[in-house]
């Protein structure tokens, strides 16, 4: 498990309390607590963190202050634009809702990665964050390609287990709106299933090649 994640789990209550001082809505507190984790873990992917607890608290405080400033400003702006009609507010809150949802998913995925043992976590991060190929990961970790591939595969398997344990069904999770029907057609036809799986791979290679 990443040291930031361990410190986060041990101090989650205290981090929430920092945000509770400034924000009354529980959703805001949830969102900012998750955001703190995402930021700190991101930093950990590229650097050694020496004091994870202090790191989390400092990040939380910075975030609380900058968000409070932002909230305050947007409220005053609504007042100033006295045409602050319902439509306008609805639009703003709807898009905020959507981005919040994306952020929540990012937090779940990030926690799944953070829970992995170091070698597996690093291999998976190189593949999905840095977009390296297996051969490049093998060279960086100084292991065979087979080991590198196995680490990424095992990491994916462990992430899946982590997400299931956390009560998320990956089949419903983070899916684009059109995906469920595509999934159905794949399940119905053997042939189209194979070709669609191959298409995935083709899409991947043409994007990156």
Partner 1 sequence: MIAMVTAVNEAENVIPISAKNSIGAEASEWIVVMQNGDASPEMQAAFAAWYNKSDKNREAYDERATLWRDFDAVELLGDIAESNQSRQLLREDVRLARWGTIGRRAAMAGIAASFALLIGLAQFSDIIPAPWREQNTYETLVGEQKTVKLADGSTVNLNTDSKMKVAFSHGARNITLERGEAYFEVYPDKARPFSVHAGERVVRAVGTAFAVRRLGEEKVSVTVTKGRVALFSGEDRSTESLDQEGAAPEPLAELDAGSRAVFDKAVEEVEAVEPEKIATKLAWRGGVLAFSGEKLSTVVDEMGRYTGMKIDIASPEYADMTISGYMKIGAYEDMFEALELMAGLKVARVSRDHVVLTNADEG
Query: Judged by CB under 8 A, does residue 117 bind partner 1?
Result: no
Read off the tokens for 99: 């981005």
- Min separation Cβ 206 and partner 1, Å: 6
Q: Restricting to residues 151-170, which ones interact with partner 1 according to CB under 8 A?
A: 152-154, 156-157, 159-160, 163, 170
Number of chain positions touching partner 1 (CB under 8 A):
69
Query: Judged by CB under 8 A, does residue 39 bind partner 1?
Result: yes
Query: Judged by CB under 8 A, does residue 140 bind partner 1?
Result: no
DSSP line for 99-158: HHHHHHHHHHHHHHHHTS-HHHHHHHHHHHTS---HHHHHHHHTS-HHHHHHHHHHHHHH
The rounded distance, in Å, linking the Cα atoms of 151 and 141 is 11
Of positions 17, 21, 69, 165, contacts partner 1 by CB under 8 A = 69
Of positions 118, 146, 165, 166, contacts partner 1 by CB under 8 A = 146
Please enumerate, as own/partner, the contacts of 52-56 that have beta carbons within 8 Å and a separation of 24 or more. Answer: 52/3, 52/4, 52/6, 52/7, 52/8, 53/7, 53/10, 53/11, 55/4, 55/7, 56/4, 56/7, 56/8, 56/11, 56/15
Query: Judged by CB under 8 A, does residue 68 bind partner 1?
Result: no
Read off the tokens for 189: 């036809």
| Closer of 9 and 197 to partner 1 (Cβ) | 197
Query: Judged by CB under 8 A, does residue 120 bind partner 1?
Result: no
The rounded distance, in Å, linking the Cα atoms of 32 and 101 is 13
- Min separation Cβ 1 and partner 1, Å: 17
Residues that bind partner 1 (CB under 8 A): 38-43, 45-47, 49-51, 54-55, 58-59, 62, 66, 69-70, 73, 102, 105-106, 109-110, 113, 125, 127-131, 133-134, 145-146, 149-150, 152-154, 156-157, 159-160, 163, 170-171, 173-175, 179, 183, 186-187, 190, 193-194, 197-198, 200-202, 204-206, 208-209
């Amino acid at each position: 498990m990443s040291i930031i994640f361990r410190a986060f789990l041990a101090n989650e209550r205290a981090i929430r309390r920092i945000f509770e001082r400034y924000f009354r809505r529980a959703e805001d507190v949830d969102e900012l607590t998750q955001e703190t984790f995402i930021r700190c873990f991101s930093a950990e992917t590229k650097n050694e963190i020496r004091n994870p607890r202090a790191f989390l608290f400092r990040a939380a405080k910075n975030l609380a202050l900058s968000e409070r400033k932002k909230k305050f400003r947007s409220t005053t702006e609504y007042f100033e634009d006295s045409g602050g009609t319902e439509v306008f507010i609805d639009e703003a809150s709807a898009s905020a809702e959507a981005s919040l949802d994306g952020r929540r998913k990012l937090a779940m995925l990030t926690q799944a990665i953070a829970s992995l043992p170091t070698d597996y976590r690093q291999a998976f991060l190189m593949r999905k964050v840095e977009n390296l190929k297996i051969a490049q990961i093998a060279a960086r970790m100084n292991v065979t390609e087979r080991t590198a591939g196995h680490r990424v595969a095992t990491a994916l398997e462990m992430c899946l287990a982590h997400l299931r344990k956390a009560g998320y069904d990956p089949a419903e999770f983070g899916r684009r709106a059109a995906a469920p029907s595509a999934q159905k057609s794949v399940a119905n036809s053997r042939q189209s299933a194979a070709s669609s799986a191959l298409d995935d791979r083709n899409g991947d290679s043409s994007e990156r090649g």
